[in-house]
Amino acid sequence: MKRVYANWKLNLPLPEAVEYAKALFNATQEEARYTEIVVFVSHSQIFPVSAVLQNTFLQVGAQDCSQFDKGAYTGEVSARMCSAAGAAFVLLGHSERRRFFGEKEDLLRLKMERALEAGLQPVLCVGETLEERKAGLVETIIQNQLSILPQNSIGARSWIVAYEPVWAIGTGMNASEEQIEAVHHFIKDRIAQVSGNTPIVLYGGSVSPENRTAILALDSVDGVLVGGASLQLETFLPIVQEAARLGKH
Ligand code: 13P
């Protein structure tokens, strides 16, 4: 089954988010049987959006969580709080968190631990910048980003990896099929070598109705993580429909 995950980032205001979640559910009742749909919403929207999607096939994720479980950490939202509010997933290490909030491996390792303790399924985002790609560092960078995955949970398939090349995010310039295949195989091979298990790997970065067929058709792509195109039904639905079509076969 191919997955379609939506990252709404810091966009939809609450009334729109709730309306859109309802519309998405109504429009994907058939498709949701053949693909896994998750919407990653801001913390304040986890509870209301989960309420709308309760008893449906659609699931909710958080876009981040604290490295702390509880205590005097003003402004933080813990993984347990996300879970209690209705989230089943959490994005970790998105390139925007790395870039604007300085998140690095030491911090992400702790967030990963808290997320797993809280029963959330983490989606670890990895990917290189254009400079790193030009310098031939793609595998080095990704291997380092993957190093935070806890060895003892590898067999459980309790987390997912999303390959999101930084230069492809929000630029309209998706990675080519060859580039995606090469990195996805690298990720799968590296993890299989240490664990004997092949992980789920999603692609993200300018996924759109135009390129969704080619990207979702790739064997090494277990699904897509969609930003801009996930904000409107008009552009998100064709991506969901294509994933569902593939899931039926
Ligand atoms: P875009 O689809 O807007 O490029 O964003 C991708 C992304 O960052 C998903 O997490």
For the ranges 60-74, 103-117, 182-196, the lowest mean pLDDT is seen at 182-196
Average pLDDT of span 41-63: 97
155 C-alpha to ligand 1 centroid (Å): 28
For a ligand 1 pocket test, name from 160, 206, 210 the mutation site with the most ligand atoms within 8 angstroms of its C-beta: 206
Considering the candidates 31, 36, 94, 184, report the single residue annotated as catalytic.
94
Average pLDDT of span 219-245: 98
Q: What's the pLDDT at 164?
A: 98
* 94 among known catalytic residues: yes
Q: What's the pLDDT at 163?
A: 98
For the ranges 159-173, 192-206, 226-240, the lowest mean pLDDT is seen at 192-206
pLDDT in tens, 145-177: 999 998 765 555 689 999 999 999 999 999 999
Average pLDDT of span 67-92: 98
Average pLDDT of span 76-95: 98
Q: What's the pLDDT at 152?
A: 64
Average pLDDT of span 95-123: 97
* 36 among known catalytic residues: no
- Distance, in Å, from the CA atom of 232 to the CA atom of 23, rounded to the nearest integer, reads 10
CATH number for the domain running over 2-247? 3.20.20.70
Phi, psi angle pair for 60, to nearest 5°: -120, 145
Phi, psi angle pair for 115, to nearest 5°: -65, -45
226 C-alpha to ligand 1 centroid (Å): 5
- Distance, in Å, from the CA atom of 145 to the CA atom of 127, rounded to the nearest integer, reads 8
The pLDDT mean for the chain works out to 95
For a ligand 1 pocket test, name from 9, 226, 232 the mutation site with the most ligand atoms within 8 angstroms of its C-beta: 226
Q: What's the pLDDT at 157?
A: 63
pLDDT at residue 200 greater than cutoff 90? yes
Read off the tokens for 164. Answer: 């999101």
pLDDT at residue 66 greater than cutoff 90? yes
- pLDDT class of 196 with cuts at 50, 70, 90: confident
Bridge partner list, 39: 6, 60
For the ranges 77-81, 94-98, 150-154, 194-198, the lowest mean pLDDT is seen at 150-154
Average pLDDT of span 61-85: 98
95 C-alpha to ligand 1 centroid (Å): 10
